Structure 1
Amino acid sequence: MADADLPLPCPAFTNTVHEDTLSDEDYKHRPPYVMKNEAEFGAKWRGKCVCGKVTYLLKQEKPLNAKYCHCHGCQALHGAPFQWAAIFHKEDMSFIKGSSGLVFYSSTHRSQTYNLPTKVTCEDCHTPLMDEGRNACLVFPESIEVEGSDEEQRRKKEPLKPTCHIFYGSRMLDIPDGLPKWKGMENASERLDDQGNPIST
């Protein structure tokens, strides 16, 4: 069977615990969907979609982790060679605008019904906003707003810098950045060098 005929894998970052709460829409009453007062929330970061309809806040400066993912699912769903995601607890994220204008897509269920894990986008401009798992949200740092020159923006986003590459065995190009590279999931697969060769231990 050709690679093109294989089904896309689930995005690598999201956990695989499935949950369907569409019937009672309980998700609207829990983080990150429940709206918070911006002043009381104490935000360190503000992110938004391209059209500006949806805005969210993050109250932790540093994520739990940040990674580049090269899995086929992320490549297809993001239309890019790899995905950059920063992982935060759900309680550390809050939508302050546009939470009613979100679209969900579960690649596991191939459905727009709210199921975990799910991808969340703006219904108007379709900007990817996050991948939601059971306990954490993976946000995409390019949607986080920072001001200044390109160099100033890179410096300000330093706390969101990735710690490794995962699913590097599926990469579209070599990334010689000195970060650890894993064939599959971090700490659960073979380590690779920048050219994708196994690193002997």
Structure 2
Amino acid sequence: MIEGGCRCGAVRYMLAVDSLPAVYACHCHICQRASGSAFSLQALVREDQLAVTGPVITREFTTEDRVSTVRYCSECLARLYNTNSARPGIAVIRGGTIDRSEKLVCKAHIFTAYRQRWVSLPTDIPQWPEAAPLAEFVTALNA
């Protein structure tokens, strides 16, 4: 089991996985605005592997042809994870909410055309200027 939670501790979650999930960095403007930083670090997990306890609030955001439902702690408003109508059954966990996040390994970078120019990306990690082709992205995360 892998655990995580919000910054105040009111919300905790458990992932029914044996090891830390692979993470990727998204450099799109939406993630920059949502994180207040240069990118968002995220992990994809099956929604049925995620068990959450504590006071969670949800907000829906529509972007182009999809709806993203974001879950926040109702106390500290930390953004924990979201689901997306384009990827049913998948939860997108915010990497910084995972306990032992300093041990996460970033396997890919997406939307690099929008990255902050002072961010240097490693040349040995797959990266795409926009969204990654699904098969290539899955291969990168599982490498």
TM-score by length of 1: 0.57
* Letter of the 1:165 counterpart: H
Deviation of 1:116 after TM superposition, in Å, equals 4.5
Q: 2:80 aligns with which of 129, 140, 150?
A: 129
Deviation of 1:107 after TM superposition, in Å, equals 2.0
Using the aligned pairs only, state the percent identity: 25
Alignment-derived partner of residue 131 in structure 2: 185
Any unmatched runs of 5+ in structure 1? 1-43, 110-114, 147-152, 189-201
Alignment-derived partner of residue 171 in structure 1: 115
Any unmatched runs of 5+ in structure 2? 135-143
Distance 1:116 1:102, change over 3 A: farther
Alignment-derived partner of residue 98 in structure 2: 144
- What secondary structure is seen at the aligned counterpart in 2 of 1:120? strand
| Rounded Cα–Cα distance in structure 2 between residues aligned with 1:92 and 1:170 | 32
Bigger proportion of residues as strand: 2
CA displacement 1:12-71 (0-9 Å, x = unmatched): xxxxxxxxxxxxxxxxxxxxxxxxxxxxxxxx21101111110000111253x5210011
Alignment-derived partner of residue 70 in structure 1: 27
CA displacement 1:92-144 (0-9 Å, x = unmatched): 1111x21xx212122217xxxxx942111111101110011321111122112
RMSD of equivalent CA atoms: 2.0
Alignment-derived partner of residue 106 in structure 1: 60
| Rounded Cα–Cα distance in structure 1 between residues aligned with 2:91 and 2:7 | 19
* Letter of the 1:181 counterpart: Q
**Structure of greater relative contact order (alpha carbons < 8 Å, 6+ residues apart):** 2
| Rounded Cα–Cα distance in structure 2 between residues aligned with 1:176 and 1:117 | 27
Aligned residues: 126
